[in-house]
Chain A
Amino acid sequence: MIGSLLILVKLKTDMPQTKSIFPIPDFTLSPRIDQVGVEERASRFTKRSIKKESKLKGLKLVLNMIDLTTLEGKDTDGKVKQLCYKAMHPHDALAGLPTVAAICVYPTMVKVAKKALEGSGIKVASVATAFPSGQAPKEIKIRDTKYAVANGADEVDMVISRGKFHAGEYNFVFDEIAAIKEACGEARLKVILETGELGTFDKVRRASDIAMYAGADFIKTSTGKIQPAATMPVTLVMLEAIRDFYYKTGRMVGMKPAGGISKSKLALHYLVMVKEVLGEEWLNNHWFRFGASSLANDVLMQMMKEKTGVYQAANYFSVD
């Protein structure tokens, strides 16, 4: 209880701009998660059989939810431009395809991506806050964020300070997220928990709660740089956290599993999970995203198969 009071006081003095009107709970009391139960429930979603028209519709939805990503030290303007073209024209041999949701790049690539995507409606998401480790002082994280936003990022993917989280310094983690949210201005904030470094479902749930109460617009599983990245059980725990938060506050928060989802079938299982846990309102790219790079081509391959009845070789789909 003392913890929650402290946070309230801090909100009033240090960070008036976050405008949080929810009573902030004591995060040590976040709901506990039973590992066996979560894994069992998650595997149940994979038993759903997605066939014919629902498969095609699902695949289109998946394509439209992808944050097409390149986060390499060797990224160049040319690579990013090519990826942006792919985002707008996933596979012109197939008519009636949606675009992907966003392009996800490092802050220095935001300007290039923004220009390449002009007028397409596709968002530019930028990782920030000393991605992927987050091992940098708060001021640098804020500057990193502001730089991305100033260059035109529509969305910012931040990482939490996992070390501080493990040390039990929840107020620090909370404040940092709130500060980044403020630095984002109009940009939507995705908070990466890096669940592969958190260790238990209890901690995933607690970190989700902290992120949402601190102002996250999205919670995201992973950077993609750490194994394991997104898994269905971890995503389920986060979706349930989003549901509880929505009931408590009336505020919707988006979900982005990232890393490790490269096959259409798995992506459809995730959609099943969203449908059965959160329902209709989350089944669009405003509230649900896949952070992936190779998933798009598998989806395209499956769609061509639905159309032509045969699988085409990987060479028929552009590698970007």
Chain B
Amino acid sequence: MPTTKKPDRRGGKITPKSNTIKLKFDTSWSYAPAPESKSAATIKPQYDLFINGEWVKPASNKYFDTINPANEEKISQVSEANTADVDKAVKAARNAYEKVWKKISPKERAKYVFRIARMIQERARELAIIESLDGGKPIRESRDFDVPTAANHFFYYAGWADKLEYAFPNRNTEPLGVAGQIIPWNFPLLMAAWKIAPALATGNTVVLKPAETTPLTALKLAEIIQESGLPNGVVNIVTGAGATGAAIVNHPDINKIAFTGSTDVGKIIQRAIAGTHKKVTLELGGKAANIIFEDAPLDQAVEGVINGIYFNQGHVCCAGSRLYVQESVAKQVIRKLRDRIESLIVGDPLDKNTDIGAINSRQQLETIHKYLKIGKEEGAEMYQSSCSLPGKGFWCRPTIFTNVAQSARIAQEEIFGPVLAILTFRTDDEVIEKANNSPYGLSAGVWTDKGSKIFNMTKRMRAGVIWANTFNKFDPSSPFGGYKESGFGREGGLHGLSAYVSLTN
């Protein structure tokens, strides 16, 4: 290693040697551990299925473990719902729909949804701890993002429940019936909120299945729902893996499927429901282009790129995983990114100072490692932060690939991990073409000081959400969804209501 030349303190003559300069982020002053206390959360050793307002043993009589990905220790065990269990849940949902929920006044519906929102807020700390324990995400994120945003979704849609005539002027709305909802492991509670809140507000009943690696906050939400006094059977929560999901998708008495997850499973679902009356919305994968122009505020753009790809360990369908940077500033941007990832703290998800937590599962870690290998084989240069990783659990250092080709697999395929592929470009037309050159189209980012350039880019890019001079910003009032293989249908906002109503007259 070249040693850094001690700079002249008096500001006199020295020879600039930018290429040998390196800032030292491993400082003599460091942060002591600041773990959030686990004792604020109550987790039962075993969870049954939440059907018709009560906890029932699975017909399969089978349970599976859910583990903490940060230390591979078992946290609890949850039921594996089979076809009979799913049938029971759908029947409960149908019964609740016909007898209670579709008849109840919209104002009453709103009351329950508001109540759930408030109870999420009241139990925010507990939910955040469980989210981080079960899924591996840093407590800072579950505390400051996941849980409050989940509560906000309930608040937002509660407001719509008795105002649907304003959402769809001069039309009559009718609920669809029973919604089967299957959600992923990256934002377990938040995705449950995205699904349940609009369904309830519009008068539908729900059978929801959380992901098999992160079932706990959905089950906690079931406890909240039970306490809220929501009529029995309006929300049913069944746990299990792919087979349970398939049982929901294939159940003949389901009116609507809402799925968030991988593009592969999305395709299976679409094939399965072809020819049926079931409506569907799919929110699938992504490979977002984040584009930095030379006139952009670079330090803020770099911060946005960091948030774009390392938020939630990169387990984000709209993660900015392809960085396009204009050639004239590429060197500078890469240097800034390398400096920045050195100050990211990787470790215990429950530590309040952690920036990057544990990878959600061993399987996902293997997928990420596979892509790191592919990237190197494709000739890209890999740079990782120098941080140390805990011995047990699933971990991946924040990673940057430079010299990536448009045709490289790491630039084309969704990795779903803390891995950034950096490509360069020269002109606006070139970068638009390259950004659109992907089977996905969920999100994108543009960084420039020029307003006109932002509008030119957003008009020509094929992505459901395009952020300008920011990234990964969400609000319940803003619709979210994809183009192409990133799925169809919109969640959030006014648009999110239409996925749960049929318009008559």
Contact = CB atoms under 8 A, between A and B. Distances in A.
Contacts of A21: 13-14
Contact of B31 (A49, A251, A286): A49
B34 A280 contact: no
9 contacts: A32-B295, A34-B301, A36-B469, A38-B300, A243-B23, A250-B17, A250-B21, A251-B7, A283-B29
Given A276-B343, A283-B28, A37 B18 contact: no
Interface string A30-64: 01111011101100000111111111011001000
A49 B18 contact: no
A286 B9 contact: yes
Contacts of A278: 23
Contacts of B2: none
Contacts of B7: 246, 250-252
A34 B300 contact: yes
Nearest to A286: B9
Contacts of A243: 23, 339
Given A243-B23, A248-B18, A276-B25, 20 more contacts: A19-B13, A33-B300, A34-B300, A34-B469, A37-B300, A41-B303, A47-B140, A47-B352, A48-B352, A48-B353, A49-B34, A54-B32, A189-B11, A215-B11, A246-B23, A247-B18, A249-B14, A250-B16, A251-B8, A277-B343
A32 B297 contact: yes
The 9 closest A-B pairs by CB, nearest first: A37-B300, A49-B34, A34-B297, A280-B24, A34-B300, A276-B343, A279-B23, A54-B32, A49-B352
A75 interface: no
Contacts of A32: 295-297, 449
A278 B342 CA distance: 11
Contacts of B353: 48-49
A240 interface: yes
* Residue from A34, A38, A52, A286 having most chain B Cβ neighbours under 10 A: A34
B300 A48 contact: no
Interface string B437-472: 000000000000100000000000000000001100
A143 interface: no
A280 to B, nearest CB: 4
B25 A280 contact: yes
* Residue from A36, A48, A216, A286 having most chain B Cβ neighbours under 10 A: A48
Contacts of B33: 51
Contacts of B15: 250
Interface residues on A, range: 35 or more
Contacts of A41: 299-300, 303
A52 B469 contact: no
A31 B298 contact: yes
Interface in B131-149: 140, 144
A195 B353 CA distance: 30
Interface in B469-496: 469-470
* Residue from A38, A54, A188 having most chain B Cβ neighbours under 10 A: A54
A22 B27 CA distance: 29
A16 to B, nearest CB: 13
Interface string B1-45: 000010111111111111001011111111111100000000000
A63 to B, nearest CB: 13
Interface string B292-334: 0001111111011000000000000000000000000000000
A188 B297 CA distance: 31
B125 to A, nearest CB: 15
Nearest to B7: A252
Nearest to B344: A276
Contact of A281 (B12, B23, B298): B23
A173 to B, nearest CB: 17
B21 to A, nearest CB: 6
B34 A217 contact: no
Nearest to A252: B7
Interface residues on B, range: 35 or more
B304 A251 contact: no
Contacts of B74: none
Contacts of B298: 31
B29 A275 contact: yes
B345 to A, nearest CB: 9
A179 interface: no
A34 to B, nearest CB: 4
Contacts of B11: 181, 189, 215-217, 251
B469 A217 contact: no
B362 interface: no
A54 B30 CA distance: 6
A265 to B, nearest CB: 14
Given A31-B298, A280-B26, A281-B23, A247 B32 contact: no
A37 B300 CA distance: 5
A243 B34 CA distance: 29
A320 interface: no
B267 interface: no
A219 to B, nearest CB: 12
B27 A275 contact: yes
Contacts of B304: 37
A52 B32 CA distance: 7
A80 interface: no
B469 A247 contact: no
B62 interface: no
B335 interface: yes
Interface string A188-204: 11000000000000000
A251 B11 CA distance: 7
* Residue from B10, B17, B296 having most chain A Cβ neighbours under 10 A: B10
A200 to B, nearest CB: 12
Given A22-B16, A36-B469, A280 B297 contact: no
A169 interface: no
Contacts of B300: 33-34, 36-38, 41
A240 B29 contact: no
A104 B296 CA distance: 39
Given A181-B11, A250-B5, A280 B28 contact: yes
Given A37-B304, A48-B353, A279-B23, A248 B10 contact: no
A19 B12 contact: yes
A271 interface: yes
A37 B25 contact: no
A41 B11 CA distance: 30
A306 interface: no
A58 B30 CA distance: 9
A209 to B, nearest CB: 14
A139 interface: no
B139 to A, nearest CB: 10
A246 B12 contact: no
A77 interface: no
A28 B158 CA distance: 51
A58 B470 CA distance: 32
B16 A275 contact: no
